[in-house]
Amino acid sequence: MRIRVVDAFADRPFTGNPAGVCLLEAGAWPDGAWMQTVAAEMQHAETAFARPSERADADWDLRWFTPTIEVDLCGHATLATTHALVSDGLVSGKVSFATRSGVLTAAIDDGWITLDFPVNRPAVAEVPAGLVEALGAEPVSVHSTGELSDVLVVLADEAAVRALAPDLGRVKALNQRDRNRGTIVTAPADSGYDFVSRFFAPASGIPEDPVCGSAHTALAPYWAERLGRDELVGYQASARGGVVRVATVGDRVQLTGQAVTTLDGQLLV
């Protein structure tokens, strides 16, 4: 079986967020435990599996796995899958995916891919007990993110976000206690972008996600309201780094980025 590694939200290799991508033949899904094992072997934030869809409202079916669990929504692996489909000449212009989060679409335009995802509007929340100790930073505010199930933490400035060295064991325990997928940390940018962020999801098998597209479904509306503009550019300040262009349009968020294939090979088992 062919398997690729695609760096998403990246314009050059070894930046952005790497995702495993397996494009399957039409027919039944492989065994779920096998797909989970492949994702564990790949050790990327997510590995995506896609097959031609039999549904009238979708072109492909798409599933995402972290090294430990199957997840409901993943932006960067969707962008990576779209890039693989375009590279193989299987789609052009626009493609739709049937997923656990409904039908999602991706538009392709001269090397740029725009994902259309449901919005997750943050709501102000109490600071969870133990959060300051887990992050090693004092939040300006904390927000819930609805169906995304992340906690969104706002810090004072970009330097504070970049300097974070959280206790991931404590972060994992907090996320498990509060039943959160992960912790988004963000602040206004002073480096030519509108905002910066980082994302930690050790309870989902992802200590730090290099560039999390789905987290931007909450970041986009938060910063749109705060900055008074619907179209913004975010930078995820992980070690790899990546740029996500966002636009909040009603109850949807558009996430735009590029991708680069870095590995293309055969899975032998």
Residue 269's pLDDT is what? 87
Active site residue 138: no
Quick one: 123-250 is in which CATH superfamily? Answer: Diaminopimelate Epimerase; Chain A, domain 1 (3.10.310.10)
6-49 residue pLDDT tens? 999 999 999 999 999 999 999 999 999 999 999 999 999 999 99
- Whether residue 85 contacts residue 60, with contact meaning beta carbons closer than 8 Å, is answered with yes
Q: What contacts 233, CB < 8 A, 6 or more positions away? A: 193, 194, 243, 244, 245, 246
Catalytic residue among 41, 46, 70, 208: 46
236-251 per-position pLDDT tens digit: 999 999 999 999 999 9
- CATH number of the domain at 2-117+256-266, please? 3.10.310.10
Does residue 191 surpass a pLDDT of 90?
no
Residue 98 pLDDT greater than 90, yes or no: yes
| For residues 84-89, average pLDDT | 98
Q: Are 47 and 20 in contact (CB under 8 A)?
A: yes
Which whole number is the average pLDDT over 141-162?
97
Which residue ranges does the chain devote to CATH 3.10.310.10? 2-117+256-266, 123-250
pLDDT of 92 reads 93
Query: Where residue 97 falls among pLDDT bands split at 50, 70, 90?
Result: very high
